[in-house]
Amino acid sequence: MIMEQIVEIKSNQYIAKINVSRGANCICLRNIEYNAHILREPDYTALDSPYLYGMPILYPVNRISGGKFSFEGRVYRFPINEAETDCHLHGTIHNACFTIEQQGGDFLVCRYVSPENDKGFPHKFCIRLFYFLDDKGLLLKTEITNLSEENMPNFLGFHTTFTIPFIKDSKSENIRICADLGEGIARNDFYLPTGAFLTEDVVTKELREGTFPSNEKSISRHYRAARKGVMRICDVEKGVSVFYENESAFGWRMLYSADLSKYICLEPQTCMVNCANSPFDRAYAGFDYIAPHASKTYQSKIYIKEL
């Protein structure tokens, strides 16, 4: 069994806990004023899925069909860890042990350095996660550095899982989901893009308008981000919302839940699902790379406020 190293950081209004031992995942974010448990928190005695708690890092994000793709004459191979779809899913960094670089009462900086030729990359790389907490909420900065001599493919996402309802004395039927969404992407039975777009429907309309209810049974949708890319969870009875802001580099979204009465995954991604192998142009799909010894950084914010 993994010996968990969990670090707590605080401000006057927020408490966060980061599990350094498992991908430096922020497994707890609470607001004191509203008695809100914003992120879904794990019970390690019955951890049914590593993705459905906190905000685990996905690197490389989402599915890679056949577990491989080509780039600059190199073939990248990842283990098939979703046998039913013949895909590699979500990388393995979410389970990796990070190292604490800096720590204070309201911040934490963690680092992961890959072994040579590991995790499917013929590159050495470093990921740093910077957590900053104040009374405005949580700021997460992600820095990815290519330590190799070749261009390194770069596909980042977070499987951020929010509690429904997020206020303790509320009810799930009070919750509405809102997201700044562009075109929806049609997927096949293996959850891979088909090359077609979703037909506009009631679900997409309600998500854009902020009226999508949590009394639906489930949801699994893939979209481009639009406008400012903000995602929001609103408690219409309490008049309070959780806001999730991601900078424009996170140009794609997955919205997922198997039980909307308990949680909703609002997942920012820098690329489309299976972007290296999809039927869409790689530029449109968000295929990206980091030059040798260069870094890229990404920022996200989570906070709660009244409507």
Q: How many CB atoms lie within 10 A of CB 273?
A: 24
Q: How much is the pLDDT for 48? A: 63
Which range (42-46, 82-86, 298-302) has the least confidence? 42-46
Contact 221, 182 (CB under 8 A): no
Q: What would the pLDDT profile of 138-171 be if each residue is shown by its tens digit? A: 999 999 999 999 999 999 999 999 999 999 999 9
Whether the per-residue pLDDT at 175 is higher than 60: the answer is yes
Instruction: Please list, in sequence order, all residues whose beta carbon lies within 8 angstroms of the beta carbon of residue 132, skipping any fewer than 6 positions away.
Output: 106, 107, 138, 139, 140, 141
Whether the per-residue pLDDT at 111 is higher than 60: the answer is yes
Q: How much is the pLDDT for 203? A: 95
If you average pLDDT over residues 80-108, what whole number do you get? 96
Per-residue CA distances from 183 to 204, 216, 252 (Å): 9, 22, 10
Q: What would the pLDDT profile of 277-296 be if each residue is shown by its tens digit? A: 999 999 999 999 999 999 99
Instruction: Please list, in sequence order, all residues whose beta carbon lies within 8 angstroms of the beta carbon of residue 85, skipping any fewer than 6 positions away.
Output: 63, 65, 190, 191, 192
If you average pLDDT over residues 203-231, what whole number do you get? 94
Could you tell me if residue 189 is left (phi over 0), alpha (psi between -120 and 50 degrees) or otherwise beta? alpha
Whether the per-residue pLDDT at 77 is higher than 60: the answer is yes
Q: How much is the pLDDT for 99? A: 97
Q: What would the pLDDT profile of 10-22 be if each residue is shown by its tens digit? A: 999 999 999 999 9
Whether the per-residue pLDDT at 120 is higher than 80: the answer is no
Q: How much is the pLDDT for 214? A: 85
Which range (74-78, 101-105, 233-237) has the least confidence? 74-78
If you average pLDDT over residues 48-72, what whole number do you get? 93
Q: Domain locations in the chain?
A: 6-306
Q: How much is the pLDDT for 307? A: 80
Whether the per-residue pLDDT at 2 is higher than 60: the answer is no
Maximum CA extent, the chain: 56
Q: How much is the pLDDT for 47? A: 62
Instruction: Please list, in sequence order, all residues whose beta carbon lies within 8 angstroms of the beta carbon of residue 275, skipping any fewer than 6 positions away.
Output: 155, 282, 285, 286, 287
Mean pLDDT of the chain: 95
Q: How confident is the model at residue 43 (pLDDT cuts 50, 70, 90)?
A: confident
What CATH topology corresponds to 6-306? Beta-galactosidase; Chain A, domain 5 (2.70.98)
Q: How much is the pLDDT for 122? A: 83
Q: How far apart are CA 214 and CA 171, in angstroms?
A: 10
If you average pLDDT over residues 28-48, what whole number do you get? 89
Q: How much is the pLDDT for 134? A: 97
Burial class (CB in 10 A: 0-12, 13-18, 19+), 280: middle
Instruction: Give percent above pLDDT 90 in the chain.
Output: 90
Q: How much is the pLDDT for 1? A: 44
Whether the per-residue pLDDT at 104 is higher than 60: the answer is yes
Per-residue CA distances from 302 to 131, 152, 213, 266 (Å): 11, 29, 21, 12
If you average pLDDT over residues 227-237, what whole number do you get? 97
If you average pLDDT over residues 224-231, what whole number do you get? 96
Instruction: Give percent above pLDDT 70 in the chain.
Output: 96
